[in-house]
Structure 1
């Protein structure tokens, strides 16, 4: 069964929108990946080892407060280990959006679901 001209146009528009949104998602995913900060990783490992030492010292001395301090130091070291590199600057995100031919400022920052909902509402509003 052949599609009418209007249905074919609508299908082509949906396909173009899908490819554009897919490119936006891939760009967002690649921009959100940051490099591992090796300095924080090594410093975190050292802090965890110091925390283990304090914890073992607290247990050996039978001092609960010293063991709790050691545990807190270990927890801080783990948090430091998993800290990522610096966030990409806003200027680099805006220039990346301008290079990719991104839309308006507010529309370019909206989430994929918000953009898709807005497009759907625009399409449905035109048919009523």
Structure 2
């Protein structure tokens, strides 16, 4: 069953809107990618465990101030664990550049989600023929 001109125009508008919103979402997601900072993760875990120990020790000794210090250390450790890494650390090149420039990695542009799906669809359709 063929679509009328009006329906075809509406379908094209909806498709353009979908591609635009998809591009916005993918740009937001790729822009928020951050590297895991293992140092702050390990320090946060250690600080949280020490905080739990101090909290339990404060409760066992019936010392309110010691329990509060333990709770604050636990909270600080958890916050330290979940602090995001720096975005520019993910993008930086730490390798020194030779005279010929061979030490540098060339970044290849990544294919967008919609381009990748379209390419896969075309490959499937070409494979069926």
TM class, shorter-chain normalised? 0.5 to 0.7
Contact 2:35/2:87, CA 8 A, preserved across alignment: no
| Cα deviation code 1:62-109 (max 9, x no counterpart) | 211111111111111111111111246xxxxxxxxxxxxxxxxxxxxx
Gaps of 5+ in 2: 89-129
Normalized against structure 2, the TM-score is what? 0.56
Contact 2:43/2:81, CA 8 A, preserved across alignment: yes
Moved more, 7-16 or 61-70: 7-16
Q: CA RMSD in A?
A: 2.1
Whole-Å separation in 1 of the counterparts to 2:42 and 2:54: 19
Q: Greater share of helix residues, 1 or 2?
A: 1
Gaps of 5+ in 1: 89-128
Post-superposition offset of 1:18: 1.2
Give the ranges of 4+ consecutive aligned residues of structure 1 lying more than 4 Å apart after TM superposition: none
- Length, aligned pairs only: 88
Residue number in structure 1 paired with 2:32: 32
Normalized against structure 1, the TM-score is what? 0.57
